[in-house]
Amino acid sequence: LARYRAAKQGRAVASERAPSMPRQAPSGFQQLGDDGTDSESWPQKMQLMELMDERESGGLRLLSDLTGGGGAEKLASMLGSSAGSGLSGEAADLDHRKVLFGANAFREKEPKSYLELVWDALHDAVLIMLLVLAAVQLPTELVFGKDKSTAWIEPTALFLSVFIIVNVSSATDYVKERQFKSLAAKLNQSNKKVVVRRGEQTEVTDAEIVVGDVLAFNAHSLASLPCDGVLLSGSDVKVDESSLTGEPDPMPKTAEAPFCVSGTDVVSGSGRMLVVAVGPYSVSGKIKMAVYHDEEEDDEASPLFVKLNGIVEDVFKVGLAAAVFCFLAMVALGIVYPSFRGCGEEGCWDFLEVEWLHLIEYMLTAITVLAVAVPEGLPLAVNLALAFSSQQMMAQNNLVKHLDACETMGSATTICSDKTGTLTANRMSVRAVRVGGVTYSAAGDSKRSLGRQLVELLPEKLAHLLAHLICVDTMDESFLEVNEATGATGFKGNPTECALLSLVAEMGYDYAALRHDTPGRSLATAARGKPFMFSSKRKMMSWAVPLPRGGYRVYCKGASEIVIARCDAMLSASGEAAPLSDAKRQQLMETVVRPFAGEAYRTIALAYRDLPGVKSASSKELEATHSTMTNADGSAAYVAETGLTLLALTGIADPLRPEVPGAIERCNRAGIDVRMVTGDNLDTAVAIAKNCGILRPQDLEPDPAHAAGERPKPKRALEGREFRALVHRTHADGSLALDEEGKPEFLQTQFDKVWPYLRVLARSSPADKLTLANGLNKSTVFADAQQVEELRREGIVVFPDRQVVAMTGDGTNDAPALKRADVGFAMGVAGTQIAKDACDIVLLDDNFASIVVAAKWGRNVYASISKFLQFQLTVNIVAVSLAIIGSIVFQESPIAAVQMLWVNLIMDSLASLALSTEPPSEELLARPPVNRSTSIVTRQMWINMLGQAAYQLGVTLFVLFHGAEHFHVLDGHDVDNSKPSVHYTILFNAFVLMTLCNEVNCRKLEGEFNVFAGVCSNAWFVGVLLGTLVLQVLAVQFGGRALRCAEGGLTTHQWLFCVGAGLFSLVWQQALNCYSLLSRRVDARRKRIKKKPAHGGAVKFMSRTGNGFQEFRRSNPYLGKSLSTLRFSPSSKTAPDLISAVAGTGPVAVSRPSSY
């Protein structure tokens, strides 16, 4: 490198710049490039890195010096590659390049070892206190204890309990980190790029790209650059380098500025580049290695974690207060009070000895109370639930990048979905073509394909022009791939273009040969052509190629209404161009485009224009913009794309996925609004929306003038331009007003008048998606009671909290909207790398039904955590209550510290594993989304927790105060403290068995009576429950002094009592459910009474017999009727049947009095 830099400064010739570097080739490899060159003569890795480092100053000079003025094509040859055909693709050559230049991948940060995770777990404050106290207790008991032979047992049991808790937590984290690594590997496999090898385009992963590859890119589907390179060829290539340089404007890439940097995004055009640096040796790779290598990403807290943190803080405060109270009570009653009493019957107290020995025990008990009270198992339960859900979602085509997206998706209230590939199958085919004034349909002739019809019925000149236009005006990255095993034809690249290429194949043409034989379109003559690549702003694509007789022809394809508006002529059946008036344009829209759209076809128009005055692809005439005509986004249109001659209109069908209507119906039942956001025209979008259920009957109104006989109600279906005009401030001329930052000025109040009605947004831009996500997030319609009531009358229900938005996207420009949405879904098949980088979840099958799967699993995460929380808080209430009562009455907890740790192990680690792995049920989608602002602890959960805690506390207190008498055993608090008692062993066993049985109850959150429903579907739950039961039996019968259990365990009679107490908690839960059901019905009755409208009214009447005014009311719906305020005119007589009707069972409409 030093020699190279010295040479660069003029102190050596160019040939001396490359240092002599040792090279190692794979065994048996001859180190020859694809062109036969010896790899020893290839440019060095450091030379190529220096080339990219100096790209802004001396890069071009270095490239010229290195290649002798030959440029990028010469550099490709020097690297054993070819600008036209790329590498050979032989495995040995690719491996050798990875040895010489590095692989296009970064060394993954190794997950923490098991011992490192153990060390992290040992930093828990409560566990540290327990270890310290156990370490102090052990020598103290051995020195000062009454029974030194058994003094080691309880401290050792404490050490063992901490050991088990730490290892269970570490094992869980160990498995979780490796799951993350596996998910990351699968995500990397979905990052695909296109390289040229053996002269053919080949799809590879980012990691398979090597130096010397020819990488194809475009702004549509291959926009993210995964490595450094030098531009070989391109058209209108502009790259967003803001992430690297901070420069906001896209940088054009030409022969004068050919260096393309990894980590940047192509925002315009398409081209090919020679790969010169990969992985950690690329520009962005070196930055990443230097800055981020040792840093870890911070996980943002999810809404669920925010709620749980609040609960943990509250419970910790209560537990700390209980621990302090227990400690002070035991000190006061066990040490201070006896010392002031002086000498007892057994002699005087040794104050120092009592304080020293008992103070440690009291402190141990208090800290154990705190350990039990603090729900430190919640993070474990959340991580388990999220990891389990993400693993299961992966099996159902949801690749979760951010775990908290699982839970957030459970609160989703709105899904804004793309149409193509998500709602539809993304298997497009041309179903109809309008050419030469005649419509040809695939359904019109069962014996001939549409392509054969066109070839046989159209003039040869017209058929060839149609095929030639399609072949030229499609991207290189769109091609057909034949499976040699099955013979089936697969689509690669843009599905719409592949459908058109498939039509060309049906017509008998070879699209690759047509491209190759067309000057300006083949790889060898690409510089003579001029492509105008597709973008969502223009909604069209064009390609200018030279004509044999001179001049250029521009082939165009794009959205039908945009292309037709730019056409001045249309080809007839004979191939002659006829003028196209405004009336004929409108006729085409009404008779062709709208019927196509009514069949849910995507309509693409094909047109061309001859430019005889253009001499070359660099002609200014091709770059000129129109003075009045604009693109879809308002920017000036190219003159070359105006004054077109319409060749054909195609109807491309993308069939609706069969599972989508059912999935949308499930969303509707779940309270999730589904909105379609698509770039297709309005009629096509409406047809698809009606078929899949996004537009429901209540969203439509009769319209005899419409082909379908009905149309969407106002604001239900909008085009992008109409939507933008409604939600932004506009000038008097209809143009959008801009804010201080030069962006359209968004009006939230206007948006709030639109979005509750909106179901379909057609001809939308990526900016519309961002506006939609931003506006929905900020909307406060739910707080406006009047508007909510008005919407309810129209059949529209507004969720009573902030909207939680899920957004799908596949394009590069969708990335901001995916970032802004609460949950962003990127398409795994059709999505760009940038969209995948910006999203939270990747849909591996691009299927809307997979989004519903994510919603169900997201709700299941919330439900699983609620189940665990319900279980744990019940245990906390009982354990803390027992500790407080014991400290006051007996100056000790009836449940020993080691036994409390055992209970803590059950409820923290094992219960979190059992309850966090519950599979979702379909009932989850029958409930509305979870309100983000409501407490996670519901009323039913409070009933379950307090009811079960009251029962368990009642049983344990009975055993505590009357158990010794009932079971005919010695009272536990009278037994020598060094010897565990049968009395307290019964209490401990009964408490644990009631806790285990309540674990079954806690599987249900809504007061369901069948608590065993679905229990066999969760093997984890059954295994943990049975395993815990077996461990409890072993602990009681054989744990002995280590677990403060009686020697020899319990008798059959004592076990039957404990088991009966545990099983009765299942029966007690049924009583709690009955109480909950009755209380809900009473509350519902009260609400109906409170909201029921008054039974009464007033009638003012006039008749020939007299005039009058009658008021009537019911004082109470359940009591009789009462009349009041009966007033008549002085000389009137009231018709008796009218008064009878008014004073009867209620107000009855009377058309006229009988005496009238």
Residues classed as catalytic: 418
| Tokens representing residue 561 in the block | 């209404």
Output DSSP code: residue 641.
Answer: G
Instruction: Specify the 3-state DSSP secondary structure of 636.
Output: strand
Please name the residues in contact with 125: beta carbons below 8 A apart, sequence gap of 6 or more.
none
Q: What is the residue whose two structure tokens read 């010392």?
A: 339
CA distance 1085 to 1081: 6
Per DSSP (E only), the strands in 128-261 are: 192-197, 200-205, 214-218, 228-240, 251-252, 259-260
Distances (CA, A) of 297 to 286, 292, 555: 18, 9, 48
Instruction: Specify the 3-state DSSP secondary structure of 1097.
Output: strand
CA distance 101 to 87: 15
Distances (CA, A) of 1138 to 1087, 1094, 1110, 1128: 34, 21, 10, 13
Per DSSP (E only), the strands in 799-850 are: 805-809, 823-827, 841-843
Distances (CA, A) of 809 to 138, 390, 677, 681: 63, 20, 10, 18
| Tokens representing residue 976 in the block | 């020598």
Angle (deg, nearest 10), helices 303-331 and 351-373: 160
Angle (deg, nearest 10), helices 153-189 and 125-144: 160
| Selection from 1086, 39, 53, 85 nearest residue 516 by Cα | 85
Contact by Cβ (8 Å): 841, 397: no
Question: Rounded to the nearest 5°, which phi and psi values hold at 1134?
Answer: -85, 135
Please name the residues in contact with 1046: beta carbons below 8 A apart, sequence gap of 6 or more.
980, 981, 982, 985
| Selection from 537, 539, 536 nearest residue 811 by Cα | 536
| Selection from 613, 397, 652 nearest residue 503 by Cα | 652
Report CA 472 to chain centroid distance, whole Å.
38
CA distance 371 to 876: 10
What is the β-pairing status of strands 479-482 and 1096-1103?
A: unpaired
Helices (H), 437-572: 450-457, 460-472, 495-506, 511-517, 560-565
Please name the residues in contact with 919: beta carbons below 8 A apart, sequence gap of 6 or more.
392, 860, 1014, 1017, 1018
CA dihedral over 970, 973, 979, 983, signed as positive or negative:
positive
Q: What is the residue whose two structure tokens read 């009855």?
A: 1148
CA distance 542 to 212: 30
Question: Rounded to the nearest 5°, which phi and psi values hold at 932?
Answer: -65, -25
Per DSSP (E only), the strands in 1013-1066 are: none
Dmax of the chain from CA atoms? 127
Output DSSP code: residue 481.
Answer: E
Contact by Cβ (8 Å): 371, 128: no
Q: What is the residue whose two structure tokens read 């890439």?
A: 253
* Structural element, H or E, at residue 335: none
| Selection from 426, 875, 817 nearest residue 656 by Cα | 426
* Bridge partners, residue 439, by sequence: 434
Contact by Cβ (8 Å): 413, 941: no
